Chains A and B, each alone.
Chain A
Amino acid sequence: MSSHREAPEISKDPVADNTDLYAFVSPDRPDTVTLIANFIPLQKPDGGPNFYEFGDDVRYEIHISNRGDARSDITYQFRFNTVVRNTNTFLYNTGPITSISDPNYNRPQYYSVTRVTRRISGHRSWNDTNVLGRGLAVPPVNVGVRSTPNYGATFTPAAIHDIGGGRKVFAGQRLDGFHVDLGSIFDLGALRPLNAAHLIPLPSAQAVNATAGLNVHSIAIQVPIREISNGGKLPKDVMDSKSVIGVWASASRQQSRVRDPRHGRSYCYGPYQQVSRLGNPLFNEVIVPMAAKDEWNMADPHEDESYAKYVTNPELAGLLPVLYPGAFPRLAAYKKARADLQAILLTGIPSGVVPGFQNNTGPVLADMLRLNLAVPPSATPNVLGLVAGDAAGFPNGRRVIDDTVTIELRAVAGLTIPLVDPSYTPDAVVPSVADGTVNGAFLASFPYLNTPAGGYQSAGISPTPAA
């Protein structure tokens, strides 16, 4: 998946597990950028009575680098606190919740938003901290038709908070917009539509979206472009290096946790240590080897040089010709370092590769989602983004509609090699490489990700017995 349960340690800590990151110029407010970081993967909507919620002991962050050194120039920090209104009941809600402030909502969460800005003067650098909002309400999860009736209309608008300066913020449960056929792709790299060509062939079949009907917890913030651009300007020149920002998200926990049986709770001590990180989708999941994934999660983007070897010689590119015998002869024969993937994932695409476009952030090798702020939203967006001629889509930032699984599968399979090596012709099968899953519905405005699936409304999961 994009980054759901992508590393051994973080898979045991779902509250801090960053699953997806989006960064795009807002299509309905093109003088703003929307940043969305999702956490807590694969939520079954009926997972009560202790439903999913943000961690009071986790510091969630979205970082923006606009100076080209892959260090955070602006960080939005989100801290949560949970209240139990009625301590004498086991119930999440003691009746229907008809508003975000309804007293029947027995376990409301609130959060603060803090902006940390890196200042540099000569050889000195320091951080300015500014609390943008406090006591912001998180909506309840979508329990069901009795507990959270008319969920979308009641809770989504009420949970969008104006925090001044043209900023909006939302934190709460959403339907996971990411789609992938997990059951197939982690069964020895199979793509159901191409089953017949697999090393262990099966009849071709329709894809199964493993995230369909499952929820995540989203932190979304929409800010004026001038707030996060280099020099506080509204970039107009796509070819200007100052038009590009790098974005990543993270979750951090305090270093020590002591469980206190006398009080039935835990206490945390010490500085925050990052435990989850996400820039480009699938980077840690399918590029970084398993033994290095947890270390990668604890590192910063500007420390990514040591992981470049996995980008320029990706394991998956070597596996495809083995798993699909005869389908990728040119990929199998290609022995050069994958400069195309290094550009897409670690530096941004430099000028002269895609006519009229660049999103290069300089020589520092860093996994960041790079967004050229001068590219306006597309009037006719294409889910395949830049490789399909839509420069407003991935890997120029990432929109909620972008089919990043197909884009990255095809890129790894060789589709983007000709961008840097015109002598290479991709294998004929590459344009049909896809897992076959498609988008669900999205909202037309902030927070763009759709209303979460309801517990009562969910059909549950009925696994097919093993053959």
Chain B
Amino acid sequence: MSTASRRNFLIMSGAGAAAVGVAVAVPAVANAATGERVTTPEDATPLVAHISDPTTGELTLLVGEDEIVVHDPDLVGRITRAATIAK
């Protein structure tokens, strides 16, 4: 089947993503390994974030069997800067 017919294609603006973030519970939990506090939704699962073209400000999240496309230039910028710093 084609990707387009399969994927759960959600384009969320940065503001929209923030609104979703407000709607779900975001507890602060301590990372067992580092002791640092990490804020995540209660139902957070492992995922892969893919940025095919950083200039678009678009980020694809692969979660379970779904694909979620997020438009968030600020988030894309922070991730790509983190990757650059880590090199």
Q: Do B7 and A271 touch across chains, with their CB atoms under 8 A apart?
A: yes
Question: Given A256-B48, A271-B8, are A300 and B66 also a contact pair (CB < 8 Å)?
Answer: no
CB of B43 within 8 Å of the partner chain: no
What 0/1 pattern do residues 1 to 24 of B give for CB contact below 8 A with A?
A: 111011110000000000000000
Q: How large is the interface on B (under 10, 10 to 19, 20 to 34, 35 or more residues)?
A: 10 to 19
Interface of A is mostly: strand
Query: Which chain A residue lies CB-closest to B3?
Result: A273
Query: Which chain B residue lies CB-closest to A300?
Result: B2
Q: Do B1 and A300 touch across chains, with their CB atoms under 8 A apart?
A: yes
CB of A272 within 8 Å of the partner chain: yes
Instruction: For A255, give its contact among B1, B46, B62 (CB under 8 Å).
Output: B62
Q: Which residues of A sit under 8 angstroms from B8, Cβ to Cβ?
A: 271
Instruction: For B2, give its contact among A254, A256, A269, A299 (CB under 8 Å).
Output: A299
Question: Whole-angstrom distance from the CB of A301 to the nearest CB of chain B?
Answer: 11
Q: Do A252 and B1 touch across chains, with their CB atoms under 8 A apart?
A: yes
| CA–CA, A303 and B63, complex, Å | 28
Question: Whole-angstrom distance from the CB of A418 to the nearest CB of chain B?
Answer: 37
Q: Which residues of A sit under 8 angstroms from B3, Cβ to Cβ?
A: 271, 273
Question: Whole-angstrom distance from the CB of A221 to the nearest CB of chain B?
Answer: 19
Q: Which residues of A sit under 8 angstroms from B7, Cβ to Cβ?
A: 271
CB of B37 within 8 Å of the partner chain: no
Q: How large is the interface on A (under 10, 10 to 19, 20 to 34, 35 or more residues)?
A: 10 to 19
Most A CB atoms within 10 A — which of B1, B46, B47?
A: B1
| CA–CA, A273 and B47, complex, Å | 17
CB of A461 within 8 Å of the partner chain: no
CB of A274 within 8 Å of the partner chain: yes
Query: Which chain B residue lies CB-closest to A277?
Result: B1
Q: Do B2 and A303 touch across chains, with their CB atoms under 8 A apart?
A: yes
What 0/1 pattern do residues 55 to 79 of A give for CB contact below 8 A with B?
A: 0000000000000000010000000
| CA–CA, A72 and B6, complex, Å | 13
Other CB < 8 Å A-B pairs besides A254-B62, A256-B62, A271-B66, 20 of them? A254-B65, A255-B62, A255-B67, A256-B50, A267-B46, A269-B46, A269-B62, A270-B63, A270-B65, A270-B66, A271-B7, A271-B8, A271-B62, A272-B1, A272-B65, A273-B3, A273-B6, A274-B1, A299-B2, A300-B2
4 cross-chain pairs, A with B, having the tightest CB-CB distances, nearest first: A270-B62, A269-B62, A269-B48, A256-B48
Interface residues of B (CB under 8 A from A): 1-3, 5-8, 46-48, 50, 62-67
Interface residues of A (CB under 8 A from B): 72, 250, 252, 254-256, 258, 267, 269-274, 298-300, 303
